[in-house]
Amino acid sequence: MSETLVRPLKAGLIGAGIQASLTPAMHMAEGAAQGLRYAYELIDLSEIGATENDLPRLLAHAERQGFAGLNITHPCKQAVIAHLDELSPDAHRLGAVNTVVLTGGRRYGHNTDWWGFAEGFRRGLPDADLSSGVQLGAGGAGVATAYAALSFGLKRLIVFDREPERARLLAAMLTALFPEADITAGTDLSVAMRSASGLIHATPTGMANYPGMPLDAELLDPRHWVAEIVYFPLETPLLSEARRRGCRALDGGGMAVFQAVGAFRLFTGLEPDTTRMLAHFKAMTG
């Protein structure tokens, strides 16, 4: 085994409250299977007393350490853009970055979140009614999930956010990209849920550092499908309640794995084994 593990590679994840993240294990396991000596570091803002304002320092440190790239998560997916040299077409359209490739002294921003969510949804809810959906969250992850949902055919999307202006800005941006769809910022969640066929949850609520439910459970109806982005824990209070009420529910595992598939490809230049990465994720989450 020691003779095959010859190519060293470093990467990392920047975000807040990320100690439970399975991204490092997924990357390192797939790297080892492909002959890499792969070190993946957690850069947890909550643990080091930092904020998104420290991104310039953290990016510079990663470059000095010879990192091939960084994954970026809450709350930095939009803030990081100001510190990058170039964006992929998807990252530019979405205005959100979850993967930064560091090469040749330059920083390239990509977004693998949207494809990760789309692929997870395609596999997990293949026959979902796409007539109308409500999305909670218009931040970096919410931009990606909304873009994905509209890309795979959602006809009507109502976006809610704790900051109403952010929801309005996202709706306007997506309307320009998907003029055939009906995209609005919501004002009354209970009314929106009564007419929706499904719910996309794109906030951190349900994670260890953000406990609780993102909406009143009474708004969930058996006709709804519910797609979650949180994956630690894999079974969030939202998913538990949705299943209890008879909804078809999709956990955040698919998005987690497939965004990692995309990032692994960008960091290493190698083609990841999707089946192997899914199996490894399943083994870690039971």
The pair of structure tokens assigned to 170 is 């996202």
What Rg do the C-alpha atoms of the chain give, in angstroms?
19
Q: Contact, 272 vs 264, CB < 8 A?
A: yes
Angstrom distance (rounded) from CA 219 to CA 192? 10
Q: Contact, 183 vs 147, CB < 8 A?
A: no
Task: For residue 243, report the phi and psi dihedrals to the nearest 5 degrees.
Answer: -65, -40
Tokens 């920083």 identify what position?
Answer: 107
The pair of structure tokens assigned to 116 is 């990760």
Beta bridge partners of 105: none
Angstrom distance (rounded) from CA 69 to CA 112? 13
Which contiguous run of DSSP H or E holds residue 13? strand 7-15
Active site positions, annotated = 77
